[in-house]
A and B are shown apart, each in its own frame.
Chain A
C-alpha cells in the first residue's frame, strides 16, 4: 500500500481551481499528492469534477488557479504533447484509418524513433496485452475488449511514467470489465507506472486502487485506501456513495469516552462512534453497513446494541440474502446475510430484533 509521503511526490495538485464560465467553480481548491508508482482512482458522480481534474493533468484544460506539478516541475504551461503522459480514453480513440500496429507506432514515429526500434516496441506492447496477432487489423474489426487492450498498449508503448485513464472500462460488459480491471492493475504494478484512473463505478475503484479520491461538488471528500474508505467513511456523502449503506437520522445527546449517544427521530437511543459530530444537540446521520447488522441471537456479539425491526421484503440473490426492514421509522433499512446452510430466511411481516456493534455505527454529518 503506497503511502502519501510528501517527500516522494510525483504528481501534485496545489490549490487548483477550475471554472469554465467564470461564475461557477467546477473544481474547488484541489490539493492532491501522489507518489511514484501509485494507482490512484478519482471516483465520483458525473459533474463532480473528476474528469476535469484528469483533463487538467493531461493538458487539455488549463487550471484557472493553482499549480499542477509533475516530478516537481510545474506543467501548467506545458502543452499536452510535451508532457509525455499516456492516456486511455473513454471511447478508446483508436485512429480508425490506421491499423493496430500503425496506431501503436504513431507515438514512436512522432518521437522520431528508428523503424526497427519502433517495430520491436510495438510488438512488445501488443504481446503485453495479448494482442500480438492483431497488428494488421483495423480498430473497427476488433471487439470492444480488444480495442480496450490496444488503447492500453498504445498509451504504454512510449513508456510514459504517468498514465491517465478516463473511464476506460465503461463500455464493456460486466465479465470483461472484471477481467480487465485485474489486468490493468496487474500491468500497472508490474511496470511500476503511476496511474490516475477516473471512474464512477465504486466497485472498480475499490478493487483496483491503492488509494481512492472520492469527488463531489468539485472537492475531494475523502482520500484513502479502499478498505479505509469503505469501513471508515469520514462523511455521509462517502458513506452513501461507497457501497450500500443504511442511514438513520437523529440528534446527538452526549459524547463520552469516544461514544456518542444519539437519539433517533422516533425516540430510540443508540450508541455510535462519533466521526464528525462534536457536541450534543447537533443533528447527525448514523451510518451502518448492511453486512454488519445481525439478527440471529446466537451470532449477536457481546456489547451489540439491539433495536426492534419489521421485515418488509426478502430478496434471494443467490450468494446472499438481502432483506429490507423497517427500523426506527426507516423503510429502506437493508441487511445482507450470507447464504449459509443454517441461515434463517426471514418472512415479510415478521417482527425481529437486530443489533450491531457501536463501533460499526458511525455518526456522520447531517
Chain B
C-alpha cells in the first residue's frame, strides 16, 4: 500500500525516480534521432545560418574605421563635433600617422570608401592624401594640420571631421538609417536631402506591388484550384500538369517569353492593333514598368497560390455545399457562407508563400521592370555586386526580413498560423 500513499516523486521499480529512469530510456533514442538529422543540421548551419548571420552583422559592422584609423579615433573623441572649430593639431597628427600606415598597407582606400557612403566626396580626399602621406615622416615633421590642409583643402572641411567623429565607433546604425533614407548627422538622426531619398520609395513600392501580385494570384488561382479539386481525377491530373508546367521551364525563359509578348512591337500589342482595339500610334506600354512586373510575376508565382488552395479544397467534403443548399441557401450563399470560409487556410498559406517570394524577387523585376517596376531586391543586388556597399545591402536585406516576419506575426494574430495548411 505504501507506493499508493507515498507523496514524493514517482519511483521506478529499482527505486530511481521515474522521470530520470524515463529520460535514460529515451536518451539513446534521442541520440539516434539526432545522428540521423545531423548532416542536414550541419549543412543548414554552414550554408544558411552562418552566412545569414554574417550578412546581418555586416549591416551594423563599422570596425573598419577603428581598425584603419586607430589613433585618429582616440584623438577625435576629445573634439566636440558641434563646435565650429576644426580639431586640434593632435587629431591631425594622429590622422597623418594612421594614413601613412594605412597607405602602406593599402587599406586607406577601403576606409575612404566606407566614409564616402556617409559623406560623398571624402573618398578622393583620403585617396589623394594617402598617396602623399605615405612618403612623410610622421613623427617630427609637424605641424600636420597645416600640411594636411595644404595637401588637400578637404581636411579643412568641418563636415568631413564630423563624419569621421560620428562613424568612429565599432558599430553603427548608419546603414540602417541610410536604408530608410535617414542619416546620422552630428546632431543625431536627420532626414536625407530629397534627391538622395530612394529606399523608402522602393520599400513601399515593393510591398505595394507584392500585395497586388498576391491579390491577382488569389483571384486567378481560386477558380483553378476549385476546378482542380472538383474535376474527375483524370481531367484534374491533366490540369495539374498544366499548372505545374511552368515549374519545369527555366525562370529566365518564362520571363523572356513575357518580354516577347508584352513589348510594344510584341504579340499582344500586334494582336490588339490588328483587331483595331488599339491605335497603331498609341501602342500599350505593357513592359518595363510596374504593369510588366505585375503581369510576369503573377504568372510565375501562380502555382504557389494554386497548390496550397487546391490541397485545402480537396479536403472539403462536397456534402457541406449540399447540406447548405438543402438548408435553403442559394448557390452564392452556400459558397460564400460555407465553402469560402473553409478555404481561407489555403488562401492564407498561398498568400504568405506568394507574398514572401514576391517581396524578395529579383530576376523578373530586373528583366521586365524597367526603372519603375524594380524591387528593393534589385537595389540589394546592386549594392552587393556593383557598388560594393555590403553594409547597406545587408541593412536593406535585414529590413526586408523584419518586414516579412512582422507580416507573418500579424497574420498569425489575425488568422492564426495553425490555420495555414500547405497540404
Contacts and interface: CB of A to CB of B under 8 A. Distances in A.
Contacts of A80: 322, 325-326
Given A96-B342, A97-B341, A97-B342, A106 B327 contact: yes
A172 interface: no
A89 interface: yes
Contacts of B337: 106
A86 B326 contact: yes
A80 B323 CA distance: 10
27 contacts: A58-B326, A59-B325, A60-B325, A80-B322, A81-B325, A81-B327, A81-B329, A81-B330, A81-B334, A82-B328, A83-B326, A87-B322, A87-B323, A89-B322, A93-B322, A95-B342, A97-B341, A97-B342, A106-B324, A106-B327, A106-B337, A106-B338, A110-B327, A110-B328, A111-B328, A155-B327, A158-B328
Residue from the set B319, B323, B333 with the largest chain A CB neighbour count within 10 Å: B323
B323 A93 contact: yes
Contacts of A84: 328
B136 interface: no
A154 interface: yes
A91 interface: yes
Nearest to B327: A107
A91 B325 contact: no
B326 A91 contact: no
A58 B325 CA distance: 10
A110 B341 CA distance: 17
Contact of B329 (A60, A93, A94, A110): A110
B342 A81 contact: no
B320 interface: yes
Contacts of A86: 326-327
A17 B330 CA distance: 27
Contacts of A164: 326
Nearest to A166: B319
Contacts, number: 67
B317 interface: yes
B338 A85 contact: no
A159 B333 CA distance: 20
Interface in B299-333: 317, 319-320, 322-331, 333
A97 B333 CA distance: 15
Point out which of A89, A90, A94, A164 has the most chain B C-beta atoms below 10 A from its C-beta: A89
Given A91-B317, A93-B317, A106 B329 contact: yes
Contacts of A90: 319
Interface of B: 317, 319-320, 322-331, 333-334, 337-338, 341-342
Contacts of A155: 326-327
A80 B329 CA distance: 9
Enumerate the 9 nearest inter-chain pairs by beta-carbon distance, A residue then B residue, closest first: A93-B323, A107-B327, A87-B326, A93-B319, A80-B325, A97-B341, A81-B325, A110-B328, A110-B329
B341 to A, nearest CB: 5
A91 B328 contact: no
Nearest to B329: A110
Contacts of B333: 110
* Chain B residues touching A, majority SS: helix
B319 A91 contact: yes
A81 B320 contact: no
Contact of A81 (B317, B319, B326, B338): B326
Given A81-B325, A81-B329, A81-B331, 18 more contacts: A58-B326, A60-B322, A80-B325, A81-B327, A81-B328, A86-B327, A87-B326, A89-B322, A89-B323, A90-B319, A93-B323, A95-B342, A106-B324, A110-B327, A110-B328, A110-B329, A155-B327, A164-B326
A111 B328 CA distance: 7
Interface in A130-160: 154-155, 158
The winner among B319, B322, B328, B338 for most chain A CB atoms within 10 A is B328
A81 B317 CA distance: 18
Nearest to B326: A87
Contacts of A107: 327-329
Nearest to A58: B326
A89 B319 contact: yes
Nearest to A151: B323
A60 B326 CA distance: 9
A111 B317 CA distance: 24
Nearest to A87: B326
A104 to B, nearest CB: 10
Contacts of B323: 87, 89, 93-95
Contacts of B317: 91, 93
B328 A93 contact: no
A110 B337 CA distance: 10
Contacts of B328: 81-82, 84, 107, 110-111, 158
Contacts of B320: 93, 95
Contact of B338 (A87, A89, A95): A95
Interface in A55-94: 58-60, 79-87, 89-91, 93-94
A304 B83 CA distance: 129
A111 B330 CA distance: 11
B318 to A, nearest CB: 9
Nearest to B322: A60
Nearest to B330: A81
Contacts of B319: 89-91, 93
Contacts of B334: 81
Nearest to B340: A97
A9 B330 CA distance: 28
Contacts of A81: 325-331, 334
Contacts of B329: 81, 106-107, 110
